[in-house]
Structure 1
Amino acid sequence: MTFGRLVFFFCFIGASFARSEQEIKKSFVQTAVECAKEIPVSGEEFQKLKDTHVAENKNVKCLVKCVLQKQGMVDDKGMFDENGSIKMAEREYADDKTKLENAKKLYEVCRKVNDEQISNDDQGCERAALLSNCLTENAPKSSATPRRPVILKSDRDVSKDQPKEKSEKEKPPTIILKTREHSTPKDERPASPRSQGNDVEGTQPSKIAQNESKERKDQKFKLMSEPVKLLDENLEFNNAAYEFLNDANSNYLVVGVIGTQGVGKSMVLNLIAQNVPLNDLSRQILNSHEVSPEPTAEANNLTPVESQMESLNITEAANKKSQDKNTFKFKMQDIEFIERGVHCTKGIDMYVTNDRVILLDCQALWSPSLIEETNTNPVTARSANILTVDCLQIASYLMAVCHVLIAVQDWFADYNFIRYIQTAEMLKPSLSASNTVNTSQESSEYNSSVESHPHLLLLHNRCQLEDYTPEAVYTMQDLYRNAFQKSNLQLNSGMYMYSDTNKNGLNIDNVCKGYNVDACGSPMNLFLLPEIYSDFDNRDIYRGHPQFEQLAKRLRWMVLGVNRHQITTVPNLSEKGWFQFCSKAWETIRKCPFFIEYERFLP
């Protein structure tokens, strides 16, 4: 979390204490989080800290005072402790007299804050805010220690009498990796294309070693217009999505969804994929179940003149059709699929939004239509067992490659579905052997035996009025809390319908006014989406919950705002590195003996 000029001040103070930039930020964030537990501050108030001065809000000023006090800058009354700050600077930074003098001058300027007459300031929050403004405004810009690039001496022979005019015309330093031995002859050394071009003009006096990720920033990648297959209908891994991934981006979010047939998995992912809010979202979801009318024989009998007129408007018609198609990225069940009782999604569909959110939509679990598709022979008991194992492998796979896993149900509660999630977690193998990804990011080794686990969001779709009562929410959370008490899946990630101010320190709006800790218990990752009726726009009917559009918007920002933990043991894994990990993870899961042994015990 960035706090604007206040962070700049602490970077200056940290520099005078000989601490690195990462240590400064880490210390400041830890201090701010500790203070936020004691002094609740809303998100809007945090945003005000980005301004030049501290916002005119007592909680914000008291938060600043708490941070300054924990840093040893002020006492309990908010008075600036100049002597203590100077002694600390002299002890920690005794080698650089210049910056020590700068710190003393800054403290001397801002000690006037202690002489200010402030009324109704028993806690010292107002005085601490004045001190913060004074320090941030008067801190010298050049006092922060700049990060210097690592300069490696070139192993090529450099002439000492090289003319200055020739060196000024040379191109910028070439980015290289120092991987060859000094004993290798110059003619046999491998060189990059850029370095070969520079050898014509002259020899570079020095080379700057930089991160390879900077070289990949200029690489082009395609934007997705529709989902592609990650696993096809035969559960074979598909590499078609590789060209849509950005190798220079490591700030992405992977969201997967599981559920039985017809519970609304594709609809939930369509809600998350919406970058622009739709005013008629409920109506478009209702219309998605309708089958597009087929052209009649009368419409097909067009005269040649009418056919020519249609050909003139082919571009406009294609654009309109594309806009209607792109409203929802994932195909949802229409009335034809529902009447036939078949599933809509086959394998795992993958879509990457422009915000670099990777959405994974999997096929229905335990769908009888899957048995009919995958078996040409008569259906037997073993056919059902094979389907069960395939679905367990898909669920374990999504647990291994996703940041967030959404478990969708359309009623409370399917005990078999809960046991299914527990079994998939139990059978999921350790993927440490699959974490060796062929990327340059392995240069910084990170050894950890801790297995990562996704955030699990329990989502109920098509909820009725009685499902939104505080008693029903309490019953749901109590059941899930007992069912997953021994699970490693993360169920307390902030994707709540109401907030626990005693635990979180932050206030968020409750879905319903009656939701609180006393009535519903401690919050967990549970969310309810209502049933959409044909008369949804009738405001005279009491629904017992906010509008569907408001809940869909809340669901989206909760999922996108969740903590993006490290999926593998490779730090800062890029999108393409994650895709390579997905390929090896699926290969490991398909060959895992746990699932084969589990099938033997099935009836």
Structure 2
Amino acid sequence: PLHMTRATSLLLSNGVFNANAKKMFHKSNTDFRVIGVLGAQSVGKSTLLNLLAAAEQGEDYDYYEHLISEADACIFRTRQRTKDKGKSVLRPRTDTLQFFITRERYVLLDTPPLEQLNQHSLNTIFQLLSVCHVVIIALDGLNMEQLRLLHAALRLRPSQGLAGKNLPQLLFVRTRALSEHYQPAWRERLEQQLSLLFGEFVTGEINCLLLPQLRSNAECVHHCGLPQLVRELWDFILGLPRLSSSDLSELQWFELLAETMRKCQFSSQHFDSVFTEIKQQQLEPRQKRANWRAET
């Protein structure tokens, strides 16, 4: 597959699925992990993914300069292009589902901002809950409407069958954390609130991390330097056990996603229901072959 240098949209501006993205996916590799991010506008979703993607640059990479200050090396665009450099643009930087594949074969998915009581936002959540191994929920405060939307999507997902077994790990990241957010009492209160909302959907403790308000690469009293923060974020994500197993290759995963999104354009069914139905159809022939070999 081609090596990617920038994120690519999975949906084109006219709503058509980007079939050309297929050449980025490996035909036979099954050792890959899909990591998606959800959150409100300007909460730092793309910045989080840029930090993860840039971890391949090495120990001396200037994260702050290239991804935040000048933002000249962003894999996922964080600044809206405009002819007037002094003009403030309030439109979302990400308006369609975008992806980037790292050299280590991690598929990073960026999403449009979640909006309150919005069916499109609910569908976006369904998509990530169905296709990801890890879903990061970026928060710069306890946005209750956003959390209720996520809670509703989790409750609406099928609890039985293949869909019920295909659960991602949820990781809540409090972005732009200030010094008071590192106090044990505040951390404990945040984790208790998230546990009350999402405890029934997770196994064990709530996965929750803090990402500080970034002003440089340097460490401070409450947190380590930015390169170490990125390493710790990756270590945490890679340490999360997979809650579901899949024999799909990268290309099969992509084709499954493409077919599901196409069907959903002409169907009132939820994304996860269509995704599960097609996935089951793909897995059944393999299961029959495996059973036949076992019997003989």
Q: CA deviation at 1:246?
A: 0.9
Partner amino acid, structure 1, of 2:106: V
Partner SS, residue 200 of structure 2: coil
Does 2:214 correspond to 1:532?
yes
SS for the counterpart of 1:408 is strand
Q: Cα 1:524–1:353, aligned 2, differ >3 Å: closer, same or farther?
A: same
C-alpha contact (below 8 Å) 1:261/1:343 kept by paired residues: yes
Residue pair 1:270, 1:328 contacting (<8 A) in 2 also: yes
Equivalent of 1:417, from 146, 152, 158?
146
1:403 aligns with: 133
Query: Following TM superposition, by how much is the alpha carbon of 1:457 offset from its aligned partner in structure 2, in angstroms?
Result: 0.4
1:337 Cα deviation (Å)? 9.8
2: CA distance, partners of 1:481 / 1:234? 40
Once the two structures are superposed, the pairs formed by residues 172-251 of structure 1 within 5 Å of their partners are 221-251=1-31
Aligned in 2, Cα 1:280/1:340: closer, same or farther, shift over 3 Å? same
Who is 2:67 aligned against? 285
Of the two structures, which has the highest relative contact order with CA contacts closer than 8 Å and spacing of 6 or more? 2
CA gap 1:478/1:449 in 2 versus in 1, 3 angstroms: closer
Amino acid in the other structure paired with 2:6: E
Instruction: Give runs of aligned pairs for residues 7-406 of structure 1, distance below 5 A.
Output: 221-274=1-54, 275=56, 276-288=58-70, 327-333=73-79, 339-366=88-115, 388-406=118-136
Separation in 2 of the partners of 1:565 and 1:364?
26
Structure 2 unpaired stretches of 5+: 272-296
Asked if the contact 1:406/1:459 (under 8 Å) is kept, the reply is: yes
CA distance in 2, matches of 1:238, 1:352: 15
Q: CA contact under 8 A between 1:491 and 1:525: conserved in structure 2?
A: no
CA shift at 1:261, angstroms? 0.7
CA deviation string 1:356-389 (max 9, x = no partner): 10111111122xxxxxxxxxxxxxxxxx97xx11
| 1:445 corresponding residue in structure 2 | none
Residue-by-residue CA offset, 1:543-566 (whole Å, 9 max, x unaligned): 322223322210012213433444
Contact 2:126 2:270 in 1 (8 A): no
| 1:255–1:406 contact (8 Å) kept in structure 2 | yes
2:187 counterpart residue number: 473
Task: Measure how far apart 1:588 and its partner are.
Answer: 5.0
For the Cα contact (< 8 Å) 1:253–1:560, is it kept in 2? Answer: no
Q: CA deviation at 1:407?
A: 0.5
Name the amino acid aligned to 1:553.
R
Q: Per-residue deviation at 1:594? A: 6.0
Tell me by how many angstroms 1:415 deviates. 0.8
Q: Alignment partner of 2:256: what SS? A: helix
CA offsets per residue over residues 480-513 of structure 1, 9 Å max, x none? Answer: 01111232xx464xxxxxxxxxxxxxxxxxxxxx
The 8 Å contact of residues 255 and 403 in structure 1, kept in 2 or not, is answered as yes
- Contact 2:7–2:98 (CA<8 Å) still a contact in 1? yes
SS in 2 for 1:484: helix
**Distance in 1, Cα, partners of 2:100 & 2:236:** 19
Alpha-carbon offset, residue 458 of structure 1 = 0.3
Q: Give the conservation status (yes or no) of the 8 Å contact 1:257–1:405.
A: yes
Aligned residue type for 1:454: P
Work out whether 1:462 is the aligned partner of 2:192: no
Residues 424/222 of structure 1: CA separation in 2 closer, same or farther (3 Å cut) = same
> How far did 1:344 drift?
0.6
SS in 1 for 2:88: helix
- Residue equivalent to 1:504: none
Residues in 2 aligned to 1:266 and 1:545: alpha-carbon distance in whole angstroms: 21
C-alpha separation between the residues in 1 aligned to 2:59 and 2:251? Answer: 30
1:573 aligns with 2:245: no
Distance across 1 between alignment mates of 2:235 and 2:24: 24
Match of 1:583 among 244, 258, 261: 258
CA deviation string 1:198-245 (max 9, x = no partner): xxxxxxxxxxxxxxxxxxxxxxx2222222211234543222221111
Aligned length: 265
Write the distance in 2 (CA, Å) between the matches of 1:277 and 1:239. Answer: 36
Q: Distance in 1 between matches of 2:210 and 2:86?
A: 25
Contact 1:337 1:344 in 2 (8 A): no
1:287 aligned partner, one-letter code: S
Report the secondary structure of 2:74's partner residue.
Answer: coil
Amino acid at match of 1:350: F
Q: Deviations over 1:414-449 (max 9, x none)?
A: 1111101012223446897xxxxxxxxxxxxxxx67
Amino acid at match of 1:418: L
Q: In 1, Cα distance between the equivalents of 2:42 and 2:229?
A: 20
How has the CA–CA distance of structure 1 residues 427 and 333 changed in structure 2, closer, same or farther, with 3 Å as cutoff?
farther
Query: Kindly tell me: are residues 334 and 528 of structure 1, through their superposed partners in 2, closer, same or farther at Cα, counting changes over 3 Å?
Result: farther
- Which amino acid in 2 is paired with 1:260? A
Contact 1:404-1:456 at 8 Å conserved across structures? yes
Summarize deviations over 1:248-304 as a string: whole Å, max 9, x none. Answer: 110000000111111111111111112124442223333235xxxxxxxxxxxxxxx
Report the residue type matching 1:524 in the other structure.
I
Decide which of 471, 478, 482 is 2:196's aligned counterpart.
Answer: 482
Partner of 2:166: 452
Q: Cα offset for 1:333?
A: 2.4
Provide the C-alpha distance between the structure 2 equivalents of 1:392 and 1:543, rounded to a whole number of angstroms.
Answer: 39
Q: Tell me which residue corresponds to 1:107.
A: none
Q: Which secondary structure state, in structure 2, belongs to the residue aligned with residue 486 of structure 1?
A: helix
Higher share of residues assigned strand: 2
Tell whether 2:274 aligns with 1:592.
no
SS of equivalent to 2:222 = coil
Residue in 2 that maps onto 1:544: 222
Identity %: 26
Counterpart secondary structure, 2:94:
coil
User: When the two structures are superposed, what TM-score results if normalisation uses the length of structure 2?
Assistant: 0.79
Report if aligned partners of 1:457, 1:491 keep a CA contact under 8 Å in 2: no
Partner of 2:294: none
